[in-house]
Structure 1
Amino acid sequence: MLIIPAENAVNWKRPPWVTLGLMLGCLLVFLFYQSGDDRIMDEAIEHYLDSGLQELEAPAYEDYLDRRIRFDGESERVHELQEFQQLRQDNESFWMAVSLLMDPEFYQYLLENRDVIWATADGQRWLESRVAIQENYIQHLSANQLGLVPADLSLYTLITYQFLHGGWGHIIGNLIFLFLLGFTVEKALGPGRYLLAYLICGALSGLVFSAFSVGSHIPLVGASGSISGLMGMYVAIYGLKKIRFFYFVGVYFNYFRAPAIAVLPVWIGKEIYDYWFAGATGVAYMAHAGGLIAGAGLVWLLGRTWLQVRDEFYEPEEDEQDARFTTGYGQAMASLGRMEFDLARRQFEALYEHYPERTILLEHLYNLAKLRPDLPEYPKRARELMNDAMNRRQPEQMIDVWQEYLSKGESHQPLAAEDHNRVLFTSLKQHDMKSAEKAFERLRNSGDEVLTSEACRLLIAEFEKQQMEPKARHYRQILQAH
């Protein structure tokens, strides 16, 4: 059974850059760094078969598996023993070599018991050849270089193992879950804290795995512990709030709603159950359980301080926002209709604070401000609307607002030289020479010599281009006077 939270959709206007970066990092490591494993393994097998070690190790491997089954109670290895015996019977030297070389526990067993397993001469021959293959090839495989080996634990491998994967199926599955969970947690925590929490969960997951695999030489690789941490953070962030979960059982799938945190013990219980009863599947169940506990624990312990959820995470979805906007906008327009201008202004300001991208609100605030052109609100809103018009590439509206301000507000609070200069540039681009000249006169009267001289040169060049020599001569005279 598979249960996945499915409460949110991705907002591609604000992409989850860290999640996408983590996915890309895992993919690049797999494609470029781990791609050398096949070559290393082929060379190791070639040297292994040439050395004749298989004749020594194959019988010892059967005995090793038989001991693990009979004395250590590892009944799940019966199938492994049967498969290896079939390989020997079919004389499948290549696949036998793969089995023998890729079992690090068996290698340690041989190191410790070679004097018991073989005569002195054979044991010495094995040691010289096998150790060389191990050091020159096997230890250079990505999993042994940067994977998490419980018997040889180091700080850096607690991070690096999270970016390694064992095959295409492994990495594709992890990347899908990383994306499904990551974009929501990244939105909740913010990019920096999300990345740090992700890596910490992976490290804690690795420590839990190592605690249950003390002395093991089998390396752990994969992002599943970190992703389990995301699952723990996800449900802890929502807490008792009911959210949607997608579930899959056999060929049947559906959705259900439940308090988010109620699913956490189900996930943890499933991983612990599988650890004890699923047998040797190659899945690091305790790493998953450790990640789940680590993720939820971090949010519970630090959710009011370092891992506090950002306010915008709880903003309503777009449909709900539209409904709120429509209601608020209707109330503000009703106030306008009753000529309650102060109330309408406050209502439009409140809406504009939450919906700054809606130009209609700024236009209403501008129209209300120009009822009192003597107050500072009018030039403020005029500049905002001019800037907004330019950002929306509507230069005509910018010029219209500027001209209206000249007639209503300029006598009370003149615009700055920079404002007139922007209008001049815009007018020239629109080939509106009348507005450009008008803007130049306002700029000239502002007393800014540098901007005036530059604007004069632009007008000369434009009039020369249009072969309007009298106009060009006029502005050359003005420039010489400066």
Structure 2
Amino acid sequence: MLIIPAENSINWKRPPWVTLGLILACLLVFLFYQGGDDRKLESALEQYLNGNLLALEGPAYEDYLQRAIRFEGDAQRVLELQEFQSLQENNEALWQAATLLLDREFYQYLQDNRDLIWAPAERSQWQQQRTAIEEQWISRMSAYQLGLVPADLSLYTLISYQFLHGGWGHIIGNLLFLFLLGFTVEKALGPGRFLAAYLVCGALSGLVFVGFSMGSYIPLVGASGSISGLMGMYVAIYGLQKIRFFYFLGVYFNYFRAPAIALLPVWLGKEVYDYWYAGATGIAYMAHAGGLVAGAGLVWLLGKSWLQVKEEFFEPEEDEQDARFTSAYAQAMASLGRMEFDLARRQFEALREHYPERTILLEHLYQLAKLRPDLPEYRERARQLMADAMARRQPEQMVSVWQEYLSKGEAHHPLAVEDHNRVLFISLKHHDLKAAEKAFERMRAQGDPDLVSEACRLLLAEFEKLQMEPKARHYRQLLQSQP
């Protein structure tokens, strides 16, 4: 059974760079760092067989398994004993050697009981040859250098084990889930907090694994604990909201919608059940369970502070926003066509609250306000449209709106002297001297000696630069007459 959330689609205009970076890091580690493990193992097996260690350890391994069956009632050991005896019957020396070399619990058992298992001469031979293999090859393999070993826990391995994998099937499966979950959680939290939360979930997942595997020398590798943390964060972010999930049962698959958080106990229960009843599959079920709890717990504990979800995360995607805008805009335009101006104004105002960056809405509101130039709303819309034009570097539109307002609304509600000053400055910058002079006259009429004097100096400097002496003389005289 497989159930994964499928609520979001990736927006390649804003790629999930941290998620992609984590995927790339795991791939590079697997290819270039772990790529040498096969060669090391081959060398270790060759040295093991040449040293005739199989003859020493084989009988000890059978005795080791039989003791576990007899005293611990471990059913899994029965299967392991049967498989090993089958390898012996088929003279599969290489696979026998691999089984003994990679069973870290058995190696620890040999170290603890070597005085009881062998006579001094055999013990000396075993000690010398096995130690050389361990130091030269086994201890240098990636899983034993940077994997998480419960019996030999190091803080750095709580992070490093997350980037190691046990084979192509392991890494491909993990990275697929990392991509499917990561881009959504990264979008919700932002790149920096997402990366920190991902690594923390992996570390906490590792600690849970250590708690359930005390004393074990079997290393944990893989990103599945961290990815389980992403699953926990994913459903905790959505909470009780109904989202879409994909499920796969045998050969059948489909989608369903459910409250996001309802899947957390389902996932958690599956991991705990498999831990107790699935047998020795090599899967770290309790690490997965720990990751799920860690991810959800981090969001619940820190969701209103450090791990607060970005507000824009819950906004519709751009395509959906465009569709909604088009529909609402068409309704407002239909109201205009029916000359229902008050309704159209309310519809455009509602649209502008959600889409403030769309200038076309402000232009419609300006045109509607212009129908009643005697009301203060016309002046406010004119000023807003002038400011918008200036922000978009469209001086011609700014001056055009200003001139239109002078002819229609200035008599009812005059613009402020600062508005005329901005028009003067922009007009001078774009060499529209006629508009600049007109703005200056409006400023003179309204007073404010400081602004008028500064505007007069700007006009004087511009006309002197253009060698238009009559105009320059006019503004020089005005400047001298200023108090």
Alignment partners' CA distance in 1, 2:76 and 2:186: 40
1:46-83 residue CA offsets vs partner (Å, 9 max, x unmatched): 32223222221122222222322332222123333233
Structure 2 Cα separation of the partners of residues 253 and 334 of structure 1: 44
**Structure 1 residue 201 corresponds to structure 2 residue 201:** yes
Q: Does 1:401 align with 2:383?
A: no
Name 2:85's counterpart in structure 1. 85
The residue identity in structure 1 corresponding to 2:41 is: M
**Offset of 1:342 from its aligned partner?**
9.3
Q: Structure 1: how far apart are the matches of 2:388 and 2:180?
A: 39
Q: Determine the structure 1 residue equivalent to 2:224.
A: 224
3-state SS of 2:225 partner? helix
Task: Report whether the alignment pairs 1:13 with 2:32.
Answer: no
CA distance in 1, matches of 2:79, 2:195: 41
Q: 2:268·2:289 contact (CA, 8 Å) conserved in 1? A: yes
Aligned equivalents of 2:90, 2:426: Cα separation in 1? 87
Residue in 2 that maps onto 1:191? 191
Aligned residues between the structures = 434
TM-score by length of 2: 0.78
Kept after mapping to 1: 8 A contact 2:382/2:402: no
CA contact (8 A) 1:369 1:381 kept: no
CA drift of 1:120 comes to 0.7
- Evaluate the alpha carbon distance shift between residue 377 and residue 258 of structure 1 in structure 2; reply closer, same or farther with a 3 A threshold: closer
Greater alpha carbon shift after TM alignment, 41-50 vs 398-407 = 398-407
Counterpart in the other structure of 2:385 = 381
Pairing 1:9-48 to 2, within 5 Å after superposition: 9-48=9-48
> Which amino acid counterpart does residue 153 of structure 1 have in structure 2?
L
Identity, in percent, stands at 68
Indicate the larger mover: 28-37 or 79-88. Answer: 79-88
Does the 8 A contact of 2:386 with 2:402 survive in 1? no
Asked whether the equivalents of residues 244 and 258 of structure 1 are also in contact (C-alpha less than 8 Å), the reply is yes
Instruction: Tell me how far 1:331 sits from its aligned partner.
Output: 6.1
1:362-401 residue CA offsets vs partner (Å, 9 max, x unmatched): 544676799989968657634644764x7xxxxxxx5863
Q: Structure 1's 185 and 43: CA in aligned 2 closer, same or farther, altered over 3 A? A: same
Q: Deviations over 1:286-322 (max 9, x none)?
A: 1111111111222222223322222222223556534
Judging changes above 3 Å, is the alpha-carbon distance between structure 1 residues 349 and 140 closer, same or farther for their aligned structure 2 residues? farther
User: 1:232-273, CA deviations, whole angstroms, 9 ceiling, x for partnerless residues?
Assistant: 122222222222222111112222222222222121111111
SS at match of 2:72: coil
Q: What amino acid is the match of 1:269?
A: G
CA distance in 1, matches of 2:428, 2:62: 89
Worse-matched range after superposition: 398-407 or 28-37: 398-407
| Structure 1 residue matching 2:254: 3-state secondary structure | strand
Which residues of 2 match residues 398-437 of structure 1 at below 5 A?
A: 398=394, 401=397, 404=400, 412-415=420-423
Change (3 A) 1:269 1:59: same
Q: Show the counterpart of 1:354.
A: 354
Distance 2:235 2:257 in 1: 13
Partner of 1:240: 240
What is the CA–CA distance in structure 2 between the aligned matches of 1:17 and 1:320, rounded to whole Å? 23
Shift in Å, 1:213: 0.4
Distance 1:312 1:77, change over 3 A: same
CA distance in structure 1 between the aligned counterparts of 2:425 and 2:290, rounded to whole angstroms = 63
**Are the counterparts in 2 of residues 272 and 289 from structure 1 also a CA contact under 8 Å?**
yes
Distance 2:89 2:339 in 1: 96
Query: SS of the counterpart of 1:254?
Result: strand
Q: How does 1:44-55 map to 2 (within 5 A)?
A: 44-55=44-55
Runs of 5+ consecutive residues of structure 1 not aligned to the other structure: 391-397, 424-437, 457-482
Matched, 1:136 2:140: no
Note the C-alpha offset of 1:419.
7.7
The answer for the alignment partner of 1:125 in structure 2 is: 125
**Does structure 1 conserve the Cα–Cα contact (< 8 Å) formed by 2:399 and 2:435?**
no
- Partner residue in 2 for 1:459: none
Partner of 1:298: 298
Deviates further, 178-187 or 335-344? 335-344
Query: Could you say if the C-alpha distance between residues 55 and 399 of structure 1 is closer, same or farther in structure 2, counting changes exceeding 3 Å?
Result: same
Q: State which drifts further: 27-36 or 315-324.
A: 315-324
- Does structure 2 conserve the Cα–Cα contact (< 8 Å) formed by 1:374 and 1:413? no
Q: Does 1:161 align with 2:161?
A: yes
Change (3 A) 1:362 1:166: farther
Is contact 1:379–1:409 with CA below 8 Å preserved after alignment? no
Give the Cα separation in 2 of the matches to 1:440 and 1:29: 66
